[in-house]
Amino acid sequence: MQSQDMLKNKMDAENYGKLRDLKNPKVLEFVSEYAALMEPDKIFVRTDSEEDRKYIRERTLALGEEKALAVNGHTVHFDGYRDQARDKKNTRYLMPKGAKISYYVNTVERESGIREIGEILRGIMCGKEMFVCFFCLGPADSPFSLYAVQITDSSYVAHSEDILYRAGYEQFRNNPGTDQFFRFVHSAGVLENGVSKNVDQRRVYIDLENELVYSANTQYAGNTVGLKKLALRLAIQKASREGWLAEHMFLMSISDLDGEKAYFSGAYPSMCGKTSTAMLPGETIVGDDIAYLRVRDGEVRGVNVERGIFGIIKDVNADDDPILYKALTSEGERIFSNVLVDPEGTPYWMGKPGEMPHKGENFYGQWFPGKADEQGQEIPPSHKNARYTIRLKDLENVDENLENPDGVKVSGLIYGGRDSDTWVPVEQALSWEQGICIKAASLESETTAATLGQEGVRVFNPMSNMDFLSVSLGKYVKMNLEFGGKPDQAPMIFSVNYFLRDKEGRFLNAIHDKRVWLKWVRLRSSGKADAILTPTGYIPLYEDLKKLFQQVLKKEFSRDDYRRQFSLRVKENLAKIERIRNIYVNLKDIPARFFQELDAQEQRLQDCLRQHGELVAPEEFLKK
């Protein structure tokens, strides 16, 4: 009763009525607890109404969290100079004393972590407005979907989530009393010049037991938009209990040569072509980042958790990304973050066509060429991690099944890495088990000199989900292996590699060749293309690729191109087996099947080495 009285003092009758109408004691308790802790001056409850959506957007402008740009509906948001990316160091799971998930997961002892974040949040919203927002992860009224409540004092966070996620207030009201929902508590903390001041006290603490995430002293969306990668961590834990998959995957359709569509999901680490694949010309997109996969009526079906894209804008241009570029330069609700804005209100980013302005405003303030920070480091005009936030429905290639509550049937899973010398451009796994163990759970990506300063370092990133795992890697691999046995027929698994190089370091693939590789994936999944059996998987026949290159890209594909790209690099594949084994052998709870698949692949490669040597042309595998 005291908590309700406190809420009534912080809220006008209309907003208190919105909360009361949900008839949900757990929601009321959640809002009351954190309102009492963080002490906002007032509280706004967002329903699904257009009026409430408009209020949030107007508050972003009034509070200066966003600024209007020249194009109608466009706004820009700036994060602080030291708050431009996910904070991996201070993102930690609250765990019982002595408990740990695995070596790659940051944890903090539960009781001390709760005390620490409680002290950080105490009174942190004094002088501010609290926004209480309700969302649905996945389509409305869907067996896939999960409910969520976000508490934040950032109108930018609330606005971003409105673009990225389905409204959920009515879902809560139609399910009175539900206690199954994710909870997120965020405060940007003390603001100085409109950005978080105390980033040294930035914390992102994840409470798996209560399905609750705390985030403080940060504005960057990867740390604050709770329903994105923070919710993915909670969903992976939930999926592990319930027997489905929460994956860092795109979801798209690919048409065969007759125009018949099928759907595929794919996991690629950063800088490996994930978004450009999901946005391929001539295909349609369901989602670019996170998918929930469940078995329904004997089929693997998937939904996009989101309804929008929070994407890296660097190098987006009219030639390589025509649909996206058109959407970003057209009228409509778009948020640009950490780009350069010229005096006329036009945003610029690295790789945008045209000349970069010689002055403007960016994430460091007023900018000009040669401007340096306090350490003397030159400040780029636009941050390399600058972003855009846009609704999928504003893209011409959005798929008609985006909001289908039953999801889409998934015909195949595609795993892609950045690999200069081992994987062929496209290959089908020998089986679900071999695909999960050898392609998905062994996924690697090479670093690039442009981003990390040291080129060619292989980063292990199983299923492209390493940063977000809330269960042990052994349990996660087991989840994936077991999932393939649940449908009547498991989807095919494929690997792709757009970054194969020759000995001189030249790329063997052109930037648009991925359209051909995915067409072959589509044909293979429906039994319309033959393949060559190799020790590592099934690869395309030359004649099929030659025809596809003509039909899809109107270009020649020579037999020499085919041999250089699809010859089996035996030595490199054996070295990869050794690297992966050395990682997994020191981990606990790895399924025995994983090592069996690793050993079997190694044996096939050793046999091939003895028979054919270190580099084997595809035609050799056709000989009797």
What residues are annotated to the active site? 272
Give the C-alpha separation, 290 to 295, whole Å: 17
Give the C-alpha separation, 395 to 165, whole Å: 16
Bridge partners, residue 414, by sequence: 266, 494
Residue type, 180: Q
Q: Is 67 left (phi over 0), alpha (psi -120 to 50) or beta?
A: beta
- Number of Cβ within 10 Å of residue 54's Cβ equals 10
Angle at alpha carbon of residue 386, lines to 252 and 253, rounded to 5°: 5
Residue 575 tokens, joined = 């070295």
Give the C-alpha separation, 323 to 121, whole Å: 42
Give the C-alpha separation, 184 to 34, whole Å: 11
Report the chain's C-alpha Rg in angstroms. 25
The DSSP letter of residue 267 is E
What is the DSSP code string of 184-208? Answer: EEEE--SEETTEES-GGG-EEEEET
Give the C-alpha separation, 510 to 163, whole Å: 34
Residue 279 tokens, joined = 């946005």
Three-class secondary structure of residue 171 per DSSP: helix
Q: Which residue in 343, 390, 388 sits closest to 367, CA to CA?
A: 343
Give the C-alpha separation, 232 to 246, whole Å: 7
Residue 386 tokens, joined = 């600058």
Residue type, 231: A
Give the C-alpha separation, 360 to 328, whole Å: 19
Q: Which residue has the tokens 């350490």?
A: 375
Q: Which residue in 37, 294, 27 sits closest to 168, CA to CA?
A: 27
Q: Which residue in 263, 294, 281 sits closest to 413, CA to CA?
A: 263
Angle of helix 473-483 versus helix 229-242 axis, rounded to 10:
60
Q: Which residue has the tokens 């303030």?
A: 365
The two beta strands, 146-152 and 129-137, are: antiparallel
Residue 484 dihedral angles phi and psi, to the nearest 5°: -65, -20
Contacts of 186 (CB under 8 A, 6+ apart): 150, 151, 152, 153, 154, 157, 214, 215, 216, 224, 226
